[in-house]
């Protein structure tokens, strides 16, 4: 029966979701809790691309699946005053391993106990954690969970100032990650996916 005839069955809605960046912290070092959840305006769900390998033989062309690449995820957050959205993402850059020229000078002149670090994957993960996108139904139940594994920032914009505009200022962020996991209804923290069994010997794959 079609979903519009069943009250218990309904389509997913674009405005029913929560975004969680679990390790984003404020300037005081306290976790922000629901900052990114209630101030998130939009977020892309993960997507992937499969490359193709071409082989030519006697005038014909055959194709084989290649590597899987997970595409970046973009999110738009309202740039709040408290907690300071600018500060959160500015600090996240440094927590990901970045040293500015003044800090590098202190390191090499012996004025700092810090090591001559650069951006790295481990610190980036510590700065953000594995990002979670939860899809909800109309009464708040979890109907799907996406986890971005090992994410790090690749682009941040802090919004444009304009005397003629009354719009809210937004933060635009882009995350690269190794891969995504998906959990269905009720799964709040997906851990793995399952590979379908191969067809048995002599069977025709369906």
- Tens of pLDDT, residue by residue over 179-199, are 999 988 877 777 766 666 666
Q: Which domains does the chain carry?
A: 13-41+55-93+131-183 (2.30.110)
Residue with the bigger pLDDT between 87 and 189: it is 87
Give pTM, 2 decimals.
0.81
The CB-based long-range contact list for 149-152 (8 Å cut-off, 24+ gap) reads: 149/177, 149/178, 149/179, 149/180, 149/181, 150/121, 150/125, 150/177, 150/178, 151/73, 151/124, 151/125, 151/175, 151/176, 151/177, 152/96, 152/119, 152/121, 152/124, 152/125, 152/128, 152/176, 152/177
The predicted structure's pLDDT at residue 202:
54
pLDDT category at 103 given cuts 50, 70, 90 is confident
Judge whether residue 81 has pLDDT over 80.
yes
């Amino acid at each position: 029966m079609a979903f519009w005839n069943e009250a218990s069955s309904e389509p997913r809605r674009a405005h029913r979701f929560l975004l969680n960046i679990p390790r984003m912290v404020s300037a005081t070092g306290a976790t922000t809790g629901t900052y990114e959840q209630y101030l998130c305006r939009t977020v892309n769900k993960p997507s992937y691309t499969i490359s193709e390998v071409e082989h030519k033989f006697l005038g014909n062309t055959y194709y084989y699946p290649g590597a899987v690449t997970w595409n970046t995820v973009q999110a738009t957050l309202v740039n709040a005053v408290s907690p300071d959205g600018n500060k959160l993402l500015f600090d996240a850059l440094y927590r990901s391993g970045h040293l500015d020229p003044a800090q590098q000078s202190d390191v090499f002149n012996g004025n700092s106990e810090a090591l001559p670090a650069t951006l790295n994957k481990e610190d980036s993960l510590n700065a953000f954690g594995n990002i979670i996108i939860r899809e909800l139904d109309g009464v708040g139940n979890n109907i799907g969970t996406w986890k971005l594994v090992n994410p790090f920032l690749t682009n941040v914009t802090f919004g444009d100032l304009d005397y003629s505009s009354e719009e809210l200022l937004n933060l635009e962020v882009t995350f690269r990650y190794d891969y995504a996991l998906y959990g269905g209804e009720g799964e709040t923290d997906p851990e793995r996916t399952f590979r379908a069994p191969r067809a048995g010997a002599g069977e025709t794959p369906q």
